[in-house]
Every structure is written in C-alpha cells, then in structure tokens.
Structure 1
C-alpha cells in the first residue's frame, strides 16, 4: 500500500499530480543535485504510482549545456516506464549566459516540449505553463503575445467551480518565500519583468492557483503559501538544494504532492530524501469559500512592469544631450546607443552606455551628455540585466530610433 492510497469508500481525488522545481542537473552523474533528482523520482513513483502528472518549474539544468541535458535524459529515461505525463518549463539557469537559439532547441529536444509556454487539460482541470522569452540572467520576460494568450486561456475557465493552475519559474514580487524585500533585504529573488501585468491578469480569475520556484527557500518558511488579491500562490522549494533564512544554503530536496477534489485542493509538502511529509507545509485551498487574503498582501506591489523607454526627441543636433525616460528597470540593465540596424552580440560595442541603476530604479530618467556623434541614424537599445556573452544571448528589451543632424 502506498502513501496516497485511500480507504475503501473514501473520496478519491479528481486529479493528483506533483510539482517540483530547480533540479539543477549537472554533467556529473555523481553530483549531489543529480542524486537528489533520482531520489525525487523514486519517491514520487513509489508514493503515488497513479499520479496524473509531474510538473517541473524550471532550472532543469545548471547552465543549459548539452552534457547536462544528456544527464537529464539518462535520469528520466530510467524512470520513464513508471512516470506519469511530465511537463517542463524553462528557468533562468536553462537560458542565461549562452546562445538563446541553442538553449531553446536543447530544451525542446530533451524535454519534448514544443513551446516556451503552453496549456493542457487533465481530467477537466486546466494547467497553464508560462515561460521566459529572453535569455536574462535572473528574471523572466513574458511577451505581450504571451500575456494576451494567457488572458485568452484564463477566459476559458468559466465554470466557476474548478481551480486553474498556473506554473512559472520565478515568483511575483513581494509574495512568497524568498521574494520579499521586507524581511530579508539581501536575499530576494522575485523575477518577472512583467510583474504588474501578470498580477493584474490573475486578479480577474479568483480560482487561479500559481506555483513558482527559483528561490530554493525550504518549505515551511514564512510565506511558503500566501493568499493575495490576485491568486493563491505557492513557493515550491527545490529538488537540488535548499535555502533557509537561518542557515542559507543547505542540502535537501523538497516539493509538493497535489490532490484536487470537488470542494478543495490539498497541497502536501514532501521531503524526498527522507520520504516523509513536511508538517509545516500541509495546505488546503477551499473551492467553496472566498479567499481570506493575507493583509500583508492586500495591496499588491505593482512597481515592476514591462520594461520600456522613450527618448525626449526624435532628432538631435550634433553634440546635443539625449534624454531617455525608462520604466521597469532592474539590477544591471543598461541602455546603449548604436548605429541604426545593429544586431546585438558579444562582438558589438555601444557608442555610449548608461545604467538606470545609477539614476534610479525601477523608473526614471537618464541623460547622455557630451557625446559627439556624426550626423546619421542611430538607435537607443534597452538591454536586460547583463552584458552579451555570445552573439545570440537575446537580451534586448526594446529599441528606439533617432537621428542626429548638423546644427
């Protein structure tokens, strides 16, 4: 008898599935991360052999390299006969600091996923998977097309009596464990460039339950689960290693077993290495009662939004200062001036560079002064979080054309 068996006559779940995150598989088969993932799969297939799905929230690999994906394939192939349908999305470690096209192709080849974002229905329950569309260092980037797609998908859920599950690697700002500035200022890893837009979309759909990873905070930490005005949010721990407020990095492997019933959703935290339930991470989400919104999250933080910028003019005289007004800036974003039509890459240098972090974030103004460029056509380009390391990192956020003319 496995841990998920029900007594005869006891209500059976409509759907049962597992959610794990941050495997960080390396090319070394004996690495602790890889061994932990094997323990995860062994525990899941033993504990719930009738599971309907296994969902992985990104950072499948440590850096997106081919040898890591080959090891990923070996690990999962050993369990493919007993695993349920398995779904993956990309995390920042899967896409950053490398050729975006190669990383995307590897992800699709080895996971058998056909898109960065997609949805499935399992036994009448809607599962929506969101994925980054840029190779950013820490954050995810959701295009306007993806957000429009999400809105349309959420509109499909009109029954009013079933949950809709949303999965994304990075958490929303000032929500779940590890994503809060207020109580651990040096360790906050929220990370959606369209944070405001995603919150506002979810707010229209009170049945939304969102799972995220990225921060590695151990289950049972403050804000492992929070009720917000826009969704019920869960932090998912990590399969590779954990982070605690008291000790920082520590060994461990945790995730969730989820059961959906007619009137509730049970979310059960699991320690995979000891094959035991985590008493501090056992949750029940009612599908019949209104959400009791945590007062700390009553007013959502909407300070991070889709990154954009404008210039104060379309035409400048030689030697004239150029002012940019930007929004949604984080970390080491930068705005550079380039000849018109340039394709960004490691070998391309900007004619001038300024960083919003030196002027104010997330929104503000910056001024290019004392730059003497000859007359011609140029573009100011907003770049996300890092310098280019290849010719195709795919870090560009937005570009604006302008001209310089003789006085």
Structure 2
C-alpha cells in the first residue's frame, strides 16, 4: 500500500465517509478523529467533507431491541472534532437510518431525530455549491428509511437546476440507502419509479450513498447505467457491526484495530477519481476508480460478462477442516481474481461449499459463504466456520471460489467425516448468502 498524499492539482477535492456508527458513549469517536486528522494532514487544501449517513448510531448497544432516546452527544463529538481539524471546511451530510433510534418508528421519535440533526447545522434538504460543483442531499424520514414524495420533488427540481447552472460539470447527489439493483446487493426500493429513473438518467449525475457496509475494494462498490448516471457506495468505516445481523441487533464487534476506511475524491473538470484510503495506516489501496464523463464507462452491467473467473493457485489444498458449533470450520488459502478494467488482483472472499454425502451424486447441502463481511482484515486465508445443517456421515466437500460478479471458478475438494449431526445453525441469518455476491 502506498502512503496517501496529494499534491493539490485538481479543481475540487473532498473526503467521503459513511457508516461510522458513533454512539453517545463514544464508540467510534477515535475513528472520527483519525478521519479528520488524516485529511487535515494529507490534504490541507481539501475543499469539502461529505457524509453519506450513519455517522451517528442512536443506540445504547445493550443487546438489541428498540431505543427510545435521541442522544445529542454524538453530534457534540462531531462538532468538537470538526472545530479542531476542519473548522472552515464545508460539510455535506445526508441523514441515515441510524441517525434515528434503533428499531423505533414512532412519529414523535422520528421528528425529534430530524430536529436534532438540523439543530447542529445539517439541513435535511441541503444544496451546496463548492467551486462550481453542486452537492444535493436527499433525506429519509425515519428508521424505516421512508422518502417523502415532496422531498423527491424538491430534489429533482434542485438537481435539474444544478445541471443547468453548472455547464457540463458533474452534479453530486448524496443520500444513504442505495438505489435498488445498482451497487453491492441493494434490493430495497426507497425511491419512486419516476425518481429512480431520473437519478439514473444523466451521465452528469453522480450518486453517493452508503448503508450496506460495503468493503473498500469490492468492484460492486461502483455501478453505471450505460449512457446514464454513476452510483458509488462509500466503504464502511464502522466502529463495529461486521455483519448485517450485528448492525440490526446492536451487537458491537471490536474492529477498531483494522477497520477505518474512506474515499478521497479528486475532480478535474469532468473526470472524477475515487481513491481508496485506509485511515489507520494512512495508505492508498490499489488503483482509484475512474469516472470520465467524456470517456468510456467502465462499470456498467456488461462488465459482469467480461469479468474473469476466480482461481485457486496450483496445488492449493484445505489446510484444516473440523466440526464446529453450528457448522464446519475450514482453513485454506484464498483464491485470486484479476478483475477487469485495471483493478488489482484481489483475494476472493466468497466461496461455494457443496457437501456431497458418500454414495450420493448431488449435494446434500450447498452454501455460499462470505469469509469477512467488510473485508476489514482480508488476510491470505479463508478461516471461518460455515454454518450448515448436516446429518452424520462421510462427505466430500467441493469448495469453489465465487467472484463479486458471480463467476464460479474451479473447485478444490476435501473429505469430511461427521461423527454427529449438525442441527439447524444457531444463527440462520447467515445461511445461504446466495444474493450477496451475485447481483
């Protein structure tokens, strides 16, 4: 990884952060400091900070359930850190679902959450112009991520005005929940059909979002409609929540040592570079994603057809296999997949496990598994317990790497003898993952 530095030679620069999950007790505050301190040092000429939601986490992390308080202390932490590192730098902040109390849909709680957000100077509807480039936020109304028709109408008017006023420059639209069927595994539709189509209609519209705890280097982080808009998902930079289930239930995992990621965005005219930054090591990872409004679109659906198959290195074998609570533990070297359009070789975190019982031809169970949900500490080996329900007996396990675009590589095999049956996994949320890498 190369040390992150910037020479300031561009028309506009901004830092993009999402899904920090900072609590009223201070979890996540260190990462907020790291983020602002890094950009204060590495990019002293930075023009803007952009948050795509869930910087705040309204929950007491007591073990799940709903929460009925609207805490001000996370916003106070943010105010203090900004005053220290970025007092005179504008901030565009789109509200996310965790700026609302966990699992609480009460109208009064939602209203108080929105009022708290705005009381610290963050408009729900925001339209800022920085060095000729327009930034427009789209708010959600509650923890359920509802978007009001009147907010869509306002945003469409502002975006159309920005497209007219800014000549041929890109217009940045910031919101929390991704447009369905674009980046990562986004499947929830939060916008109307009309507004969704509008947001994807122009190459000049650059959508910036978060929410799905996407890993820094996933190719599915960025998506383009052929001849239309770009959607970019900011990487997770959380103080925890290394799983969707953990996030939903308030289970805070200790990822503080190795997970703090952001995006540095460099804009020159109609060309945009999205640099992948590790805030802790202060390093740039791999090559930037490139959006050139006058050039080729690299990230349309057609690249799935061009994507290469992942592959294990010659001679790769399973180093460890044993029965574990709720499943089977595996350790083996990860496969590699050279993605298209200039991405570096990357380790493959997704694998398909086929458990074929002795004497049978078809698998008794098939599970697709993601080895490290946010890829916060990828390593070189898959080391995880695959949760699966199995009868006792002898099995052959075929393990196939699965790329981010759903391409399945050649498998390796290992023998497994189950002395006793594995019951239904203790956490069935993790069964399958068929929809995760295959979008």
**TM-score, scaled relative to structure 1:** 0.61
The equivalent residue for 2:199 is: 202
C-alpha distance 60-153 of structure 1, shift in aligned 2 (>3 A): same
The equivalent residue for 2:49 is: 54
The equivalent residue for 1:238 is: 236
2:146 is the counterpart of 1:145: no
Structure 1: 5+ residue runs without aligned partners?
Answer: 7-11, 180-189, 299-407
168, 173, 181: which is aligned to 1:166?
173
Deviations 1:52-91 (A, max 9, x none): 100111112111522333333333333244x621121210
Deviations 1:156-178 (A, max 9, x none): 21366211111111111122124
Is this contact kept in 2: 1:40–1:239, CA < 8 A? no
The equivalent residue for 2:35 is: 40
C-alpha distance 46-84 of structure 1, shift in aligned 2 (>3 A): same
C-alpha distance 170-2 of structure 1, shift in aligned 2 (>3 A): closer
Is this contact kept in 1: 2:38–2:279, CA < 8 A? yes
**Partners of 2:192 and 2:216 in 1: CA distance:** 23
**Partners of 1:128 and 1:17 in 2: CA distance:** 14
Is this contact kept in 2: 1:140–1:191, CA < 8 A? no
Shift of 1:241: 4.2
C-alpha distance 56-295 of structure 1, shift in aligned 2 (>3 A): closer
Shift of 1:271: 0.7
Is this contact kept in 2: 1:254–1:270, CA < 8 A? yes
Is this contact kept in 1: 2:12–2:131, CA < 8 A? yes
Cα RMSD over matched residues? 2.9
**Partners of 1:127 and 1:65 in 2: CA distance:** 27
Is this contact kept in 1: 2:261–2:277, CA < 8 A? yes
2:116 is the counterpart of 1:101: no
85, 99, 102: which is aligned to 2:90?
85
The equivalent residue for 2:220 is: 223
Shift of 1:196: 2.8
2:17 is the counterpart of 1:20: yes
2:9 is the counterpart of 1:3: no
Is this contact kept in 1: 2:203–2:293, CA < 8 A? no
C-alpha distance 206-250 of structure 1, shift in aligned 2 (>3 A): farther
The equivalent residue for 2:183 is: 176
C-alpha distance 196-278 of structure 1, shift in aligned 2 (>3 A): farther
**Partners of 1:75 and 1:283 in 2: CA distance:** 29
**Partners of 2:4 and 2:284 in 1: CA distance:** 13
The equivalent residue for 1:211 is: 208
116, 129, 133: which is aligned to 2:137?
129
Is this contact kept in 2: 1:61–1:72, CA < 8 A? no
The equivalent residue for 1:377 is: none
**Partners of 1:140 and 1:250 in 2: CA distance:** 31
**Partners of 1:148 and 1:66 in 2: CA distance:** 30
C-alpha distance 294-4 of structure 1, shift in aligned 2 (>3 A): same
Structure 2: 5+ residue runs without aligned partners?
Answer: 59-69, 247-252, 305-439
C-alpha distance 109-191 of structure 1, shift in aligned 2 (>3 A): farther
Shift of 1:212: 0.7
Q: In the comparison of the two structures, how many residue pairs are matched?
A: 274
**Partners of 2:7 and 2:291 in 1: CA distance:** 21
Query: Secondary structure at 1:90's aligned position in 2?
Result: coil
**Partners of 2:23 and 2:240 in 1: CA distance:** 16
Shift of 1:239: 2.4
Shift of 1:250: 7.3
